[in-house]
A and B are shown apart, each in its own frame.
Chain A
Amino acid sequence: MSVKEPPIPAPPPEPGAPQGAAATQVSILEIFITFLIIGGISFGGGVVAYLRNALVVEKGWLDEEEFLTALEISQALPGLNATNMSVIVGDRLRGPVGAIAGFLGMTLPGGLLVFALGIFYVSNHGNPAMHAILAGIGAAAVGLLAAVTVQIGHKQLEHLREILLILITVVMVSFLHVSLVLVLLTVLPLALFIYRPGRGEVDEP
């Protein structure tokens, strides 16, 4: 495990690594441990709240605006918010090595636990109590996913064009079973066309 990584004696700032709000050089080990804690306590999703608390409030590595920008990038790119944030923030602080430290910290606790549970699951296949518990968890997860989706979608359920884009996406994926690649290749250009700059509805900066 990369905990063994010796703290690198502050080198000159890596070329291209933008300096964040952090005035002093943060050690690789500190990046790893900070994300290890977030990765270890963020149960039940909602990693963003844990990230904000640790990175903005406790460590002061980013200010609110920098945090929101990093979150915007994480959301616009493929991949999970949690791991994208660990990579982007780690990179901001200490370049690519910082990114690796953040990513490993973020994924290690949950990954090892899931791996252990997976070994248990595969070797206890057919155990009725285990399947009953997992069925209950699966059902609860559906309720949770539905609530989170409605909460996020709520803001957009006002304009007809957003509702149409949501519906087109759901119908293509869930009912027509169109492959996700095709869905993205058709709906994303359509949406980009709808929201293209200079379409005359939004004031240009």
Chain B
Amino acid sequence: MNNPHTDLSVLGVFSLLSLLAIGGGTAVLPEMKALTIDAHHWLTDSQFRDIYSLGQVAPGPNMLMVIVIGYHVAGTLGAFLAFTGFFLPASVLALGSSRLWNHFDGSPWRLALQMALAPIVVGLMAAGTVAVARTAITGTETTLIAVAVFVLVYFGPKMIGKKVNPALYIFAGGLLGYLTLK
């Protein structure tokens, strides 16, 4: 089932996404959807939602779900290529530039870059949230689950004076999905 052209596309798509992931994984979700669903037709909208959700269950970096996209498209090799593509370029860049960054300690441009990136990162996170919402919010039940989690995460700590591990909300969402959507 492996077609070298597809394998290369998987590697290429995720390498590009790796270098575009300014401000974390959420920032590239709209582009990832556009490339994997609209451009390459590797996934349907609801498969993207399912695979994104699978990634939420695992510990560690929250974009390990690229492994499942790769596996879905091109088997075990695809899983490896998607992982390598998504994590290697950015990691090599991080290795190369952290020493450079220290070199610019105190430079006014370093501060300018940080200040310039901050609102862009928030904008990209908001766009990433919109991208997931467009596939994950499909009716009354999913709307209620999303609103409830938002309220609990955003206002909960102020009310009970304690932060709850977000993983609990993810598992509660899965349970509610099982009970109401099956």
Tell me which of A79, A110, A181 contacts B58 (CB under 8 A): A110
Q: Does A70 contact B (CB under 8 A)?
A: yes
Classify the secondary structure of B's interface with A. helix
Counting chain B CB atoms within 10 Å of each CB, the highest count among A81, A140, A173, A192 belongs to A140
Q: Does A88 contact B (CB under 8 A)?
A: yes
- Bound Cα distance A91, B124 (Å): 29
Q: Tell me which of A26-34, A53-61, A143-151 binds B.
A: A143-151
CB within 8 Å for A79 and B97 given contacts A142-B137, A205-B106: no
- Bound Cα distance A193, B20 (Å): 21
Give per-residue flags for B43-81: 1 if the beta carbon is below 8 A from chain A beta carbons, else 0.
Answer: 000100111111111111111110110011000000100
Please indicate the chain B residues that have their CB under 8 angstroms from the CB of A23 in the complex. none
Does the CB pair A140–B172 fall under 8 Å?
yes
Q: Does A8 contact B (CB under 8 A)?
A: no
Does the CB pair B101–A76 fall under 8 Å?
yes
Could you tell me the distance in whole angstroms from the C-beta of A40 to the nearest C-beta in chain B? 6
Does the CB pair A110–B94 fall under 8 Å?
no
Tell me which of A92, A106, A129, A153 contacts B126 (CB under 8 A): A153
Please indicate the chain A residues that have their CB under 8 angstroms from the CB of B146 in the complex. 139-140, 142-143, 146
- Bound Cα distance A107, B18 (Å): 15
Could you tell me the distance in whole angstroms from the C-beta of A116 to the nearest C-beta in chain B? 9
Tell me which of A70, A106, A143 contacts B147 (CB under 8 A): A143
Please indicate the chain B residues that have their CB under 8 angstroms from the CB of A117 in the complex. 54, 57-58, 68
Does the CB pair A138–B60 fall under 8 Å?
no
Interface size class on chain A is 35 or more
CB within 8 Å for A133 and B174 given contacts A143-B149, A144-B149, A148-B125: yes
The 6 closest A-B pairs by CB, nearest first: A136-B177, A140-B173, A169-B123, A79-B90, A143-B149, A110-B60
Known contacts A114-B64, A136-B176, A181-B20, then 15 further A-B pairs from the complex at CB < 8 Å, ordered by chain A residue: A39-B59, A43-B165, A73-B94, A79-B90, A121-B54, A135-B53, A135-B181, A137-B174, A139-B146, A143-B151, A145-B129, A165-B120, A169-B127, A184-B22, A205-B106
Query: Footprint of A on B, CB under 8 Å?
Result: 18-28, 30-31, 34, 46, 49-65, 67-68, 71-72, 79, 83, 87, 89-91, 93-95, 97-99, 101-102, 106, 108-109, 111-133, 135-138, 141-143, 145-154, 165-170, 172-178, 180-182
- 21 of the cross-chain contacts (CB-CB < 8 Å) are A42-B60, A43-B167, A75-B114, A80-B87, A84-B90, A118-B67, A129-B182, A132-B182, A139-B143, A139-B145, A139-B149, A151-B154, A165-B119, A170-B123, A180-B27, A180-B31, A184-B120, A195-B112, A197-B111, A202-B111, A205-B106
